[in-house]
Structure 1
Amino acid sequence: MESLPPCVVFAAGEYYAVDANRANAVEVPHGAFVVAADGGLDHARALGVAPDVVVGDFDSLQGDRPTCGEHTIALPPQKDDPDLLSALKIGWAHGCRTFHIYGALGGRIDHTLSAIRLTALVARHGGIAFLHGDGTIVTAIRDGRLDWPAFDATPGRMVSVFSHTDVSRGVDEPGLKYRLMDGVLDADSVLGLSNEFLPLTPAAVSVREGTLIVTYPAEAPGPKVTLRHAPSGDLGALDTSVSSLLAG
Structure 2
Amino acid sequence: MKRYKLPVQGQHSETVILANGDFPCHPIPLSILKGAQYIVCCDGATDSLVRAGIVPDAIVGDCDSLSDENKERFAHIIHRIREQDTNDLTKAVNYCIGIGRKKITILGATGKREDHTLGNISLLCQYMQHTDVEMITDYGSFIGTNTDGLYESYPKQQVSFFCLDRCHITTHGLVYPVQNQIFDSWWQGTLNEAITDEFGIDTDGRIVVYRAF
What's the TM-score bracket when you normalise by the shorter of the two chains?
A: 0.7 to 0.9
Over the aligned positions, Cα root-mean-square deviation in angstroms equals 2.7
Please report how far the alpha carbon of residue 54 of structure 1 lies from its aligned counterpart in structure 2 after TM superposition: 0.9
Q: Which runs of 5+ in 1 are unaligned?
A: 220-248
Deviates more, 1:47-56 or 1:60-69: 60-69
Query: 2: CA distance between counterparts of 1:38 and 1:109?
Result: 19
Q: Secondary structure at the match of 1:130?
A: strand
Q: 1:128 to 1:184 in 2, by over 3 A?
A: farther
**Structure 1 vs Structure 2: percent identity of aligned residues?**
23
1:131 to 125, 131, 135: 135
Is the 2:15–2:36 contact (alpha carbons within 8 Å) kept by the matching residues of 1? Answer: no
Please report how far the alpha carbon of residue 52 of structure 1 lies from its aligned counterpart in structure 2 after TM superposition: 2.3
Is the 1:168–1:207 contact (alpha carbons within 8 Å) kept by the matching residues of 2? Answer: no
Alignment partner, residue 57 of structure 1: 62
Equivalent positions of 1:3-22 (< 5 A) are 6-18=14-26, 22=27
Say yes or no: does 1:147 pair with 2:151. Answer: yes
Query: 2: CA distance between counterparts of 1:128 and 1:96?
Result: 9
Q: Secondary structure at the match of 2:171?
A: coil
Query: 1: CA distance between counterparts of 2:148 and 2:102?
Result: 15
Say yes or no: does 1:182 pair with 2:180. Answer: yes
Task: Provide the TM-score with structure 2 as the length reference.
Answer: 0.80
Is the 1:141–1:211 contact (alpha carbons within 8 Å) kept by the matching residues of 2? Answer: yes
Residue identity in the other structure for 1:164: L
Task: Provide the TM-score with structure 1 as the length reference.
Answer: 0.70
1:191 to 164, 188, 193: 188
Q: Secondary structure at the match of 1:207?
A: strand
Say yes or no: does 1:83 pair with 2:88. Answer: yes
Equivalent positions of 1:1-248 (< 5 A) are 6-18=14-26, 22-28=27-33, 32-62=37-67, 64-65=70-71, 66-69=73-76, 71-76=77-82, 79-123=84-128, 125=129, 127-149=131-153, 151=154, 153=155, 155=156, 158-165=158-165, 167-169=166-168, 171-186=169-184, 188=185, 190-198=187-195, 201-217=196-212, 219=213
**Paired residues, number:** 201
Query: 2: CA distance between counterparts of 1:64 and 1:34?
Result: 16
Query: 2: CA distance between counterparts of 1:141 and 1:38?
Result: 27
Deviations 1:168-205 (A, max 9, x none): 22x3321221122333322x26321100123xx12224
Q: Please identify which structure carries the higher helix content.
A: 2
